[in-house]
Amino acid sequence: MTQTLKTKVLIIGAGTGGYVAGIRCGQLGLDTILVDGGDGLGGTCLNVGCIPSKAIIHAASKFETVARAADGGTLGITASKPAIDLAATVAWKDGIVRKLNGGVAALLKKAKVKVINGWAEFSDAKTCTVKTDDGDIAITAEHVILATGSEPVELPFLPFGGDVISSTEALALDKVPNRLVVVGGGYIGLELGIAYRKLGAEVAIVEMADRLLPLYDKALTDPVAKWLEKHGVELHLGAKAGSFEKGALNVTDKDGKALTLKADKVLVTVGRRPRTKGWGLENMGVAMAGPFVKIDDRCATSMRNVWAVGDLTGEPMLAHKGSAQGEVVAEIIAGHDKRFDPVTIAAVCFTEPEIVSAGLGPQEVEGRDDVITSVFPFMAIGRALAIEAGDDGGFVRVIASKTDHRILGIQAVGQHVSELSNSFAQMMEMGAVLEDVAGTIHVHPTLGEAFHEASLRALGHAIHI
């Protein structure tokens, strides 16, 4: 027998966009049902993406530090040769995920959000049936928030399965592969490829573009390329991957020459696509923008009282974007006058070294004579040198208007620069000018001093260079 429920707000998808929308709806007193049919509470980010990948990356960096100490010593520290029990590392990572899952569940319960585990399928814009282990549940809602997220792109000639894996499987291996070939030189492939190189795997990267991380300018990516070269990562740029047969990946290099790369595992990271299939989107009558659901600055779709947030709505596919959209939609439904109109959404690559970008980059201002561009190297920052973060070519770059000094963009590359991303975004969101950063007393010794000095340099009077 089918159970029938009615609710004010129905949210499909429990990722960072969906569960945050649910919590905020609950806080605002809205009767809310959240349907979780994917990876679990927290979605891709918490379960098989952002959080577990950063845990593995952290463990890999710890392992590399001990390995360096065993290989002739570092910073006066020596150690015995380390070993990695990857299954134990993955179990530790899984413990972090479970803890965070429990935290999300507790927050939703506190907000009085009803969570249903099952797969929803819509028959029209406001009606769906959820298939659960205990039977079907028919739900009708006044408002629907679509937050179904995204999924890895599968190549037809390299289908996932066996030794051909996506990032999900790469975060759950029980041992380090002797040879790992990564297809795709974007941020996901590089983050995981670098982590596995630190853990001892021989790593090769196959990328169709003529350089890595093609969405970023070369100055930002050069320090990453230097790390890869220094650590023996094999790069095949301008190359095309083919089939995987008998433990080897077929590749065509930039000159059209056929190569075979031996591999224990082939990690395919050629992008992600919105999850639009299998839940009745075609029955909802919403307009599309290419592969994405089309929304306005209120995250409203073309169907009245149907909203969409997160990866489903297009680039940038970032967890923090989805969360911010989820909050906005909840407040709009509750009667608040809100818009999703950020000045910038900062993005981070957790490579070695890390990359941060917020606002306009050099590509967007190329040829303009009305901007100031200022770069300050970490090699001139005491804190960076003290934590071995100053010798990898890292820097902070500020781009500002020449006329009013309004900050238009900020980028950085270097160890631990992900922690500067919120300062960058905050300054831009507040409409800061160079004088605002210059006039803010920055704590010494910190990496953030490079932001201060870059702004001073743009004004013509950097102190420490």
Which residues form the catalytic set?
444
Q: How many Cβ atoms sit within 10 Å of the Cβ of residue 368?
A: 13
Cα(47)–Cα(45) distance, rounded to whole angstroms?
Answer: 6
Rounded (to 5) percent helix, strand, coil in the chain: 35, 30, 40
* Residue of 416, 413, 425 whose CA lies nearest to 345: 425
* Residue of 126, 100, 130 whose CA lies nearest to 115: 130
Find tokens 């001073």 and name the residue: 456
Distances (CA, A) of 89 to 53, 60, 70, 92, 102: 12, 10, 20, 5, 20
* Residue of 372, 448, 441, 375 whose CA lies nearest to 407: 372
Three-class SS state of 342: coil
Cα(177)–Cα(295) distance, rounded to whole angstroms?
Answer: 43
Q: Where are the beta strands (DSSP E) in 153-217?
A: 164-165, 179-183, 202-207
Cα(284)–Cα(277) distance, rounded to whole angstroms?
Answer: 12
Amino acid of residue 197: R
Residue 275 token pair:
């999850």
Give exposure, 302-318, as e/b (b: 16+ Cβ within 10 Å): ebeebbbbbbbbbeebb
Cα(143)–Cα(124) distance, rounded to whole angstroms?
Answer: 12
Alpha helices in 37-186 (DSSP H): 43-48, 50-70, 86-110, 167-170
Q: Where are the beta strands (DSSP E) in 176-321?
A: 179-183, 202-207, 234-237, 240-245, 248-252, 258-262, 265-268, 272-274, 288-289, 292-293, 306-308
Three-class SS state of 158: strand
* Residue of 327, 331, 356, 360 whose CA lies nearest to 343: 360
